Amino acid sequence: MRSVKPITKIGIAVVALGLVLASTVMAEPPERFRGRIVDTGGGTPRGGTWWMTLQADRTTSPEEVKLLAEALATGGQKALMAAMRDIEPAGWIRVGDNTRWHLVVVRSGTAPDGSRVVRAFTDRPINIAEIFGTLRTRDYTLGMIELQLDAEGKGSGIILPMSQISFNEAGHIEIESFGNQPFRVMNVSPEKVKGK
């Protein structure tokens, strides 16, 4: 019988949905990045690595972000998920040979030195190896990716395949991750998009 994974709470003050990122548009979308997901914390039974490809087709607008934030504040994660289903996808992510998952939210913030943070959210879990299977995982319906890139688009990041999101008592966003997460994303680099 599969054991229940521990829950990891990751307190990130007003970070979810990329709300704190400047409303910087993606650099000539679409943009595509490739990296290797590494299980360094025992998030899967056997550990391992997987290739990941993320494509950002557009930047989620400030109006859309505001709509999602209001849904979360007034109705919790269920309302947030419902609101996400009404928004045009902003890109996609693929792990290994799995099918693509669309990204509902993609936001990018750029520092004066040209380095960037790209955050993306899905409205469903991201399938990595064997982290599915328990009934409890069904409450963790949000996938999150964060990439920290230099001016050339190279860097690293994290991925939370299954998470919950809520406001804590201090009024900050708190992300609760299922299992020993996050997974690390290493050796991220840009890829040319065909036809661009």
Q: What is the pTM of this model?
A: 0.79
Give residue-wise pLDDT tens across range 130-170.
Answer: 455 554 666 778 888 999 999 999 999 998 888 888 777 77
pLDDT at 124 over 80: no
Of 5-9, 31-35, 124-128, minimum mean pLDDT range: 5-9
CA nearest neighbour of 33 among 189, 192, 143, 155: 189
C-alpha pair distances (Å), 16 with each of 29, 160, 162, 175, 191: 22, 12, 14, 7, 26
Separation of alpha carbons 184 and 158, rounded Å: 5
